[in-house]
């Protein structure tokens, strides 16, 4: 996990949203879900869709840099969602 956030900071990863690009740190402030598309759930869905669109059907060639970056973003957002859900559950 630490390595994942270290990579995000070194690569200055940004996440595309309806409000423009945001940083990894900004993800912690977003709602899990909302009536607009500016939430963690919709960003995660967008990343999953991007991954599926960039799937390489070859069993020989390796992943592209773009696919690797999308996977890193997807893992980061899944981690943040998991942590936020645990916080919600702990308050109940």
Q: How far apart are CA 9 and CA 3, in angstroms?
A: 10
In which band, very low, low, confident or very high, does the pLDDT at 70 lie, cut at 50, 70 and 90?
Answer: very high
Hey, what's the torsion of the CAs at 91, 38, 80, 2, to 10 degrees?
-150
Number of domains in the chain: 1
Range of the domain at 83: 2-91
Average pLDDT estimate for 13-31: 96
Whether residue 29 contacts residue 43, with contact meaning beta carbons closer than 8 Å, is answered with: no
Question: Residue 60 pLDDT > 80, yes or no?
Answer: no
CA distances from 89 to 1, 7, 39, 42, 69 (A): 21, 29, 19, 21, 30
């Amino acid at each position: 996990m630490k390595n994942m956030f270290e990579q995000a900071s070194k690569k200055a990863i940004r996440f595309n949203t309806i409000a423009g690009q945001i940083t990894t740190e900004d993800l912690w402030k977003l709602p899990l879900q909302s009536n607009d598309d500016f939430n963690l759930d919709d960003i995660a869905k967008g990343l999953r869709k991007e991954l599926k669109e960039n799937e390489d059907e070859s069993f020989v060639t390796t992943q592209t840099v773009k696919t690797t970056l999308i996977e890193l973003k997807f893992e980061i957002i899944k981690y943040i969602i998991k942590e936020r859900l645990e916080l919600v559950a702990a308050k109940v």
